Amino acid sequence: MDSSLSNIAVVFDMDGVLIDSQPLHYEIDMQVLKSCGYPAELSTVTPYSGVSNPDRWAKYKETLNLEQSIEQLIQITEQKMLEVFQSGIVAIEGVKELLAQLQNMNIPCGVASSSPHSLIQLVLNNIGIKQYFSEIISGEDVKIGKPDPDIYITAAKKMGFSPNKCIAIEDAPFGIQSANAAGFTCIAYKNPNTYGQVFTHAHYVIENYTECLPIIEKIRCSI
């Protein structure tokens, strides 16, 4: 794909946007916390949707007084994630069609996910959409994760676009804050399994990916 033919780029979060994985992340975090002796419930983990493993587990350790080191907690979590994500993960309905349409329109796409590279690569390969993305940026690539704008600023630079010509598709408030702070236009995907997230700071909100392309076209025409 020749990105020079497009005046915009689209950057996708992964969890809850490309795959319906957020409930799995919640379950994994609860399992790890319970194995550490903390009786975690869903309300314990939902506030950290979209937060990278290092930032999330640092916060858990601080607020819940966990004895294990952050490194130990991350290692346990990432091992469980790789085990769970090996099978049973499918693309959210409409994602593949949208990506194919964007490719046909010569609009370059990237991924900006808080997940580690190993998990992103596993997911994109397993659901057969890796070929649609020119750049993949992980929380491992930046010093400060979402809601800091660094991951989206990095994505814009790697894709060769100024942030005001980039669109982010997100499903969580921290991701929306990150994209907005970087200067992106943000489309929030209202994933029914992402539990009570607030999207008031998104520029657009969709409930189905069939709604997405007309919005992208509208943004492209306004730039």
Domain range summary for the chain, segments of one domain joined by +: 3-20+89-222, 22-85
Q: Of the candidates 48, 10, 13, which has an alpha carbon nearest to the alpha carbon of residue 32?
A: 48
What does the pLDDT profile of the chain (223 residues) look like in tens digits?
A: 444 468 999 999 999 999 988 788 899 999 999 999 999 999 999 888 878 889 999 999 999 999 999 999 999 998 998 888 887 788 999 999 999 999 999 999 999 999 989 999 999 999 999 999 999 999 999 999 999 999 999 999 999 999 999 999 999 899 999 999 999 999 999 988 766 678 999 999 999 999 999 999 999 999 8
Distance CA 175, CA 185 (A): 12
**How do beta strands 204-206 and 109-113 pair?**
unpaired
Residue in this structure with the two tokens 């005046």, named with its chain if needed: 7
User: What is the helix, strand, coil percentage profile of the chain, to 5?
Assistant: 50, 15, 35
pLDDT of residue 111: 98
Distance CA 147, CA 129 (A): 26
pLDDT of residue 211: 97
Q: Model pTM?
A: 0.86
Give the helix ranges, DSSP H, for 36-142: 42-45, 53-64, 70-85, 95-104, 117-126
41 Cβ neighbours under 8 A, 6+ residues apart: 30
Tokens for 33, please give them.
């916390």
pLDDT of residue 107: 97
CATH number 3.40.50.1000 is the correct assignment for the domain at 3-20+89-222: yes
Tokens for 178, please give them.
């990150």
